[in-house]
Amino acid sequence: MDYIKIRFGDDFDELASNLDRSFSDMFHAIKPQFKLTDQSWNPAVDIYQTPKEIIIRVEIAGVEKEDLSVEINSRAIRIRGRRRELPRLADSAYRLAEIQYGRFERVLYLPEPIDTDTVSSSYLNGFLEIHMSRFKREETHRIPIQNG
């Protein structure tokens, strides 16, 4: 027996957006020529922390290091790039097209301020990994008051 999901409330815009995205995904899988050439996509991201640092891992297989850009401040990080489409074989037709190509941009707000002077990154086996040192909790200091 099939189940139908019914939503109550005023989230029709979100539902319509999801429906539009579903149709777009369906046509992209059937006929790749329906895909916009500069369509954006969102790579998967993991953020985790240790007692000393915050680590971000981004899955971006097939993106060349030269096509990546990372910008950071003490509270947010922006990761941008582009995955270029691989050349198609002559006289071939797609039966399934799920790999997304084009530009991407992720802006991630960090759970706490970081020290921007100690950020390091590496790119290996399709994963971009960014290590950021957490700011040490500052201690409160008592300041003596002098006579005027």
Q: Is 37 exposed, middle or buried (0-12, 13-18, 19+ CB in 10 A)?
A: exposed
Query: Binning pLDDT at 50, 70 and 90, where does residue 56 land?
Result: very high
Name the pLDDT band for 12 (thresholds 50, 70, 90). Answer: very low
CB 34 within 8 A of CB 41: no
DSSP one-letter code for 138: P
Region of 17 (left: φ > 0; alpha: ψ -120 to 50; beta: rest) is: alpha
Whether 130 contacts 114, CB under 8 Å: no
Chain segment 58-104, per-residue pLDDT in tens = 999 999 999 999 999 988 999 999 999 988 888 888 888 888 999 99
pLDDT in tens, 26-35: 555 554 444 4
Q: Rounded to whole angstroms, how far apart are CA atoms 14 and 20?
A: 10
Distance CA(50)–CA(54), nearest Å, equals: 6
| Poorest-pLDDT segment among 8-12, 108-112, 118-122 | 8-12
Q: What is the CATH number of domain 40-86+95-134?
A: 2.60.40.790
